[in-house]
Amino acid sequence: MRDAILLLRGRPRFRRLWLGNLISQLGDWVGWVAVSVLALGSGSEGGAALDLALVFLAHNVPAAALAPLAGPLADRMDRRALLLATTAASFALTLVMAVAAACGAIWLVPLSLLARSAVTAFFTPAERAALPRLVAREELLLAGALDAVTWSVAFALGMAAGGVLSLLGPVTALLLDAGSFALALALLWGLPAMRPDRSVQTGRERAGARRAIGAAISYALPRPRLTRAVLAKAPFALAAGAAWLALNLVAADVEAAGGVAVGLGLGLLHAARGVGAGIGPVLAARLARTSRSRDRAWRALFLTGLAAMGLFVVAPSGPWLLLLAALWGVGAGANWVLSSEAQQRLGPDALLGRLGALDHCCFVIAQSVAVLGAALLVERGLGRAGAAAPFLVAAALLWWALERRVKWSDVS
């Protein structure tokens, strides 16, 4: 904690980016609960599962679809300008969603959500590529851990607040979401210009840059550790997508059995996951002192999260679900920060935007496939455990393949 405070004090530009993200994420998760509650009110478990999957896809797929454009753009233009433009557009679109909901033009809400998700595709790679400009190289792991802890705090508080505010209706949540983007825009305005550094590129790499996202793939594939860093979020996302659907359906079951309202149940379970996602990066930063210890910590924390998700989808409703959700978050947070730090450490500045976009694209596609696939299996009559099982197994196998490739490269 002391190191994180010193980093924020000593790096005022990083502090602006950090605080802007914290505020916008708080608002975003408040709005997310309201949208999920609307989807869960659609009727039967199968119908609710499909509606949840469609909401998830609308919120995430545009970012994956536009990654081949977003990554190269972050490597060609000022990253500050991208951060400002995308935040301003997100504010405007969220305001449209709130006004549409207030006026009864519900058809405009999902369209605006799709547009905002598309805008977010350009924010994420610009943010990741900007980080090495705002902190020293040796501070990247600490900065990444702090960013992940911040996400977990915003997620936990935003989900908990969203659960309470869902009782007041979606308009209130969406107005708060829009206000958070406005505050974030004011903070990000003070960032310096951050144009990509092209001086380190060789002639071959410059030619690769013209192939856009293909340059990142060509650079990463011969380097097993960088490949693992770029793809590590995808196997976890396969399991997390199925577990996310199960979590939402568990909240609906608790309400049906006479428990707390679905919005409050969602808020509590997601908040527990968010708390775990804050603990995971702290553990990772403490355990990852050397290359060997980093690999061991990464493997142990990844498997902890995977096991917790497996137990979550088979466990009956009860207070232990909060503990399992927290352990799931521990694995997710650790995997996120270790993979992101490895990308920034192993990748050249001129390709960081594309590497980040490729990472985000694989993550979103894997999670979206799992959410939709699990929803279809639930609709066909499988229980939550049966629907999640194929994706949990696929996640374990994909992670094993990435680990084996790194080990083989170390031996050779």
Instruction: CATH number of the domain at 96, please.
Output: 1.20.1250.20
Could you give the C-alpha distances from 240 to 104, 184, 308, in angstroms and in order?
Answer: 34, 28, 10
Which pLDDT score, from 0 to 100, does residue 34 have?
A: 63
Domain limits for position 237: 2-191+211-411
> In this structure, is residue 235 part of a structural domain?
yes
Residue 348 placed within a domain: yes
Q: Which residue, 364, 366, 253, is CA-closest to 317?
A: 253
Question: Do 366 and 238 touch, CB atoms closer than 8 A?
Answer: yes
Q: How many domains does the chain have?
A: 1
By the 8 A CB rule, do 11 and 135 touch?
Answer: yes
* pLDDT tens column, 195-228: 876 554 444 444 443 456 777 888 888 999 999 9
Query: Quick check: is 86 in a domain?
Result: yes
Q: Please provide the DSSP assignment of 338-376 as one string.
A: HHHHHHHHHS-GGGHHHHHHHHHHHHHHHHHHHHHHHHH
Residue 118 lies inside a defined structural domain of this protein: yes
Predicted local confidence at residue 1, as pLDDT? 63
pLDDT tens string 87-111: 999 899 989 888 887 887 767 777 7
DSSP string, 116-148: HHHHHHHHHHHHHHHHHHHS-GGGHHHHHHHHH
Within a domain: 373: yes
User: What pTM was estimated for this model as a whole?
Assistant: 0.69
Return the pLDDT at 157: 75
d(CA 301, CA 331) in angstroms, rounded, equals: 5
